[in-house]
Amino acid sequence: MPVIENIPIRMKPADIRKKMRLPEKYAERGEFDRFVAEVLPLLQPRAVYELEEITHKNDLGIQVGRILFNSRVLARNVRDAERVFPFILTIGDRLEKKAAEEDDLLCQYVLEGIGDLALHAVDRYVKETVCRMHGITRLSSMSPGSLSDWPIEEQKPLFSLLKQGSGVIGVRLTDNLLMLPRKSLSGIYFSTKREFFSCRLCPRENCPGRLAPYDDELKKSYRI
201 close to 148: Cβ distance less than 8 angstroms:
no
Q: Does 71 fall in a domain?
A: no
pLDDT at 53: 96
- Total domains in the fold of the chain: 1
Q: Does 218 fall in a domain?
A: no
Q: What's the maximum distance between 2 C-alpha atoms anywhere in the chain?
A: 59
CATH number of the domain where residue 24 is located: 3.40.109.40
Domain of residue 33, residue span: 3-52+79-197
Q: Does 63 fall in a domain?
A: no
pLDDT at 29: 59
86 close to 158: Cβ distance less than 8 angstroms:
yes
Q: Does 223 fall in a domain?
A: no
Phi and psi of 113, rounded to 5°?
A: -65, -40
The secondary structure element, H or E, covering residue 67 is: strand 67-70
Q: Does 213 fall in a domain?
A: no
Q: Does 209 fall in a domain?
A: no
Q: Does 46 fall in a domain?
A: yes
Q: Residue 220, class by beta-carbon neighbours within 10 Å (0-12 exposed, 13-18 middle, 19+ buried)?
A: exposed
Q: Does 68 fall in a domain?
A: no
pLDDT at 224: 76
pLDDT tens sequence for the chain (224 residues): 789 998 999 888 888 888 888 877 776 657 888 888 999 999 999 999 999 999 999 999 999 988 999 999 999 999 989 999 999 999 999 999 999 998 888 889 999 999 999 999 999 999 999 999 999 999 999 999 999 999 999 999 999 999 888 999 999 999 999 999 999 999 999 998 888 888 888 888 777 677 788 878 888 888 77
